[in-house]
Structure 1
């Protein structure tokens, strides 16, 4: 995920504004620190949104803001940087897990999935839906884990 950062110098400090996150402003003594702090701030903000179950915003293109300069002088004369965030660091990478279930429990789960999705439980895609069922059950059982 790529997010533009507009940087301007005000007196003896640099101010970074993230158009995709208007509520976030970064102030530092130099441009390098603005970029570094912006990356940390965006990462923290995205983690917070993700854990609250809110969608992660897509980054806008710098050219969108450059073409809009005629209408809005908020970014006129700014130096631009791109903040790159790896989505896997927010959402976490998936880990393969092998489990053993009692056969009646697995049969019951497959019947539940079949009733909800109206498809043959023996189909190859049923394992994907079984994974989703297990993830949702764990999320319901562990209320402190509210990721979707």
Structure 2
């Protein structure tokens, strides 16, 4: 899943506040943008692990453009100079225990899935790709 993250700075601070709007309470403070990107990924993973531990639903990620509009309208002073990024997280480890199932798919579809998985760092396995596609469809 691709989560939007927003970097803001207080007027008298050089530190960056990094927040994940789709995961309320998931935020960190870092000295640099590079550290912020690295650490926010870990923060998202920790946040998702806690949600999974308590049996909470994993929030669906909204689009970056929608977040920008909402935040700028709500607080133009803070978010006018903010910048946004996307962090891609494999959410399958946070969806609960895995179960093996038998699925029948057309050969050409399987080939397309395998091709996509081999060319994309977003998916590690065929099962991960299918789980992500199912999750996206269920969120509609």
Bin of the TM-score, shorter chain as denominator length: 0.5 to 0.7
User: SS state of the match for residue 61, structure 2?
Assistant: coil
TM-score (norm 1): 0.57
Q: 1:95: Cα distance to partner?
A: 6.0
Structure 2 counterpart of 1:29, from 9, 28, 31: 31
Residue 64 in structure 1 maps to residue 33 in structure 2: no
For the 8 Å contact 1:14–1:28, the answer to whether it is kept is yes
Q: Which residue of 1 aligns with 2:43?
A: 41
For the 8 Å contact 2:52–2:96, the answer to whether it is kept is no
Q: Which residue of 2 aligns with 1:85?
A: 89
TM-score (norm 2): 0.60
For the 8 Å contact 1:65–1:75, the answer to whether it is kept is no
For the 8 Å contact 2:6–2:84, the answer to whether it is kept is yes
Q: 1:21: Cα distance to partner?
A: 2.1
Q: Which has the larger radius of gyration?
A: 1
Q: Where do residues 115-126 of structure 1 align in structure 2 (5 Å cutoff)? A: none
How has the CA–CA distance of structure 1 residues 96 and 19 changed in structure 2, closer, same or farther, with 3 Å as cutoff? Answer: closer
Aligned length: 97
Residue 6 in structure 1 maps to residue 6 in structure 2: yes
| Structure 2: unaligned runs, 5 residues or longer | 102-140
Backbone CA RMSD of aligned residues? 2.2
How has the CA–CA distance of structure 1 residues 96 and 66 changed in structure 2, closer, same or farther, with 3 Å as cutoff? Answer: closer
Q: 1:83: Cα distance to partner?
A: 1.5
Residue 76 in structure 1 maps to residue 80 in structure 2: yes
